[in-house]
Amino acid sequence: MVQVDHVADELAIQALLNRYARAVDTKDWQLYRSVFTADALIDYSSAGAVAGTLDEVVDWFATHFGVIVWSMHHITNVEADIDGDTATVRAMFYNPMQLPGMAEPSSCGGYYHHEVVRTPDGWRSRRLREENVWFLNPPSSG
């Protein structure tokens, strides 16, 4: 039975990451909030974006992410080290996107590092750090 529970937890964590990708790509900030605990800390600084509390990040996204014409996050190679009601998660991401003012699409990739916890509402991320490894066709800096 323990093995079945472990597989169920892995699938639930994968579903959490899928919901995260859909929330960002559809700019659904209420759905985005549902991925995290209320006290979550989120760090996108490796991509030149915001780091802060859930409220600070949602406010930043609502103001700045709307200019991205489209994005399509792919999250793969999810590794969840589950220990009871907590887990450390590492997952690869690939994100093609259309940035404003750019003739050709851009894309970036790297890793998401999550610390997730089991809550009464299911698994939620209490800490996310994006590790941006590469960026193809970035916006010009000036």
pLDDT tens, position by position, 40-49: 999 999 998 9
Residue 3 phi, psi dihedral angles, 5° rounding: -60, -40
Q: Is the pLDDT of residue 142 over 60?
A: no
- 68 token code pair: 């991205």
DSSP code for 136: E
Compute the mean pLDDT over every residue in the chain, rounded to the nearest whole number.
Answer: 95
Length reported for the chain: 142
Please report the domains of the chain, with CATH numbers, ordered by start residue: 2-136 (3.10.450.50)
Which positions ≥6 away from 49 have C-beta within 8 Å? 60, 64
Q: Which helix (H) or strand (E) holds 32?
A: helix 29-33
137 φψ region: left (φ > 0), alpha (ψ -120 to 50), beta (else): left
pLDDT tens, position by position, 48-87: 899 999 999 999 999 988 889 999 999 999 999 999 999 9
Whole-prediction pTM: 0.93
